[in-house]
Amino acid sequence: MVPEAEFTSYYGRPVVKAPRWSWDIPAYLFLGGLSGGSAMLGAGGDLSGRPALRRAGRLGGLAAITASVGLLVHDVGRPERFLNMLRVAKPTSPMSMGTWIISAYAPGIGVAAVSELLPVLPRAIRDSPLGAVLRVSARPAGLAAAAIAPAVASYTAVLLADTAVPAWHEAHRELPFVFIGSSAASAAGLGLVFAPVGEAGPARRLATFGAIMELGTSRRIENQLGLAGEAFTTGKPARLLATASNLTAGGVLLATLLARRSRLAAVVAGVALLAGGVFERFGLYHAGIESANDPKYTVVPQRRRLEQEGPVRADS
């Protein structure tokens, strides 16, 4: 525990402003990550001859990205102007880049997922030219989406880090690895729930990979970031993140030990991993909010840096 820092502020009021976003945004972070991981799992299932895993990945990927974009539209102050995001492409704006990444990603996962519905669609559609096009384009579309999916899973870390919110900005090196880990673990959870035990091998291994990335990097954030790390280890964010860790670790343990033999264990493990992903995103989100609302997180590190290294200056 870092000793309570003494600092001056203007009547304890925040220096920076927390985003005015609602629960939409952490939910969007979770669903975007889930979609990216699922699309990759689906493409892997496609190439390795695991039809149930392929179907789960593609349909889960489309459902998650659709819901995630829905939340994003809902969260902006003027939803009718949402498409103004497509006026410009700005590398300095992770939200602009993200909009373009999702715009490139969604059609591929859409085609791949809709092709999975062909067997249940009316015969007239199946036998139509549209049905034929869907059948032929499903694999390339799914692979194209899977190629963009890693960007879908990781850009949201830059979205949070590219702010003056102390906890997010200070964690800008670590957050992408937490996010891809969480994305992998959530997608693995989806695979464990929907694919039979015989096809779920990659999902079980992906759960281990995701949990190691997510939990390992989270420890680093908590221990190496100095005062900013405290935002992750105290109060409500700490409780959310501890629940996330327990669910994810429990899910992986169950997936590794029992999910090979028991479908029920696989489903329970999958649900735990998905729930762990939700708690992880809400915990990271609220750590940022708390660090913006408490002037300590802005003033103390800047003051310390000033005293130890002097002001930040560009050499011109």
Partner 1 sequence: MTQTTANHLFGPLDPAAEAGYPDHPPRLGFFTDTTVCIGCKACEVACKEWNNVPEDGIDFLGLSYDNTGSLGASTWRHVAFIEQASIEQPKPLGAQEPGVTGRHAPVVDLGMPSTAPPGTTAGADGRTEFRWLMSSDVCKHCTHAACLDVCPTGALFRTEFGTVVVQQDVCNGCGYCVPACPYGVIDQRKGDGRAWKCTLCYDRLQGGLTPACAKACPTESIQFGVLDELRERAAARVEQLHAAGISDARLYGADPTDGVGGAGAFFLLLDEPEVYGLPPDPVVTTRDLPSMWLHAGAAALTLLAGVVSTFWGRR
Q: Which residues contact 272 (CB under 8 A, 6 or more apart)?
A: 189, 247, 248, 250, 251, 254
**What's the CA angle centered on 242, arms 237 and 248, to 5 degrees?**
125
Q: Token digits for 316? A: 């011109």
> Please, which residue, 134 or 158, has the CB nearer to partner 1?
158
Closest approach of partner 1 to the CB of residue 129, in Å = 33
DSSP state of 162: S
> Please, which residue, 138 or 292, has the CB nearer to partner 1?
292
> Please, which residue, 85 or 240, has the CB nearer to partner 1?
85
Q: Which residues contact 135 (CB under 8 A, 6 or more apart)?
A: 115, 118
Closest approach of partner 1 to the CB of residue 18, in Å = 6
Say how far apart CA 122 and CA 25 lie, in whole Å. Answer: 37
Say how far apart CA 91 and CA 65 lie, in whole Å. Answer: 22
Closest approach of partner 1 to the CB of residue 39, in Å = 10
DSSP state of 19: P
Closest approach of partner 1 to the CB of residue 130, in Å = 31
> Please, which residue, 122 or 316, has the CB nearer to partner 1?
316
Closest approach of partner 1 to the CB of residue 142, in Å = 13
**What's the CA angle centered on 202, arms 197 and 208, to 5 degrees?**
105
Q: What are residue 295's phi and psi, to 5 degrees?
A: -60, -20
Using alpha carbons, select from 115, 124, 129 the residue that is nearest to residue 43: 115
Say how far apart CA 12 and CA 40 lie, in whole Å. Answer: 47
Q: Which residues contact 228 (CB under 8 A, 6 or more apart)?
A: 166, 167, 170, 171, 291, 297, 301
> Please, which residue, 179 or 279, has the CB nearer to partner 1?
179
> Please, which residue, 115 or 291, has the CB nearer to partner 1?
291
> Please, which residue, 12 or 129, has the CB nearer to partner 1?
12
> Please, which residue, 206 or 231, has the CB nearer to partner 1?
206
Closest approach of partner 1 to the CB of residue 121, in Å = 29
> Please, which residue, 60 or 295, has the CB nearer to partner 1?
295
Please give the full DSSP string across 272-301, using - where no structure is assigned. HHHHHHHHHHHHHHHHHHHHHHSTHHHHHH
Closest approach of partner 1 to the CB of residue 11, in Å = 5
Closest approach of partner 1 to the CB of residue 72, in Å = 9
Q: Alpha-carbon Rg of the chain, whole angstroms? A: 21
Q: What are residue 38's phi and psi, to 5 degrees?
A: -65, -40
Closest approach of partner 1 to the CB of residue 148, in Å = 10
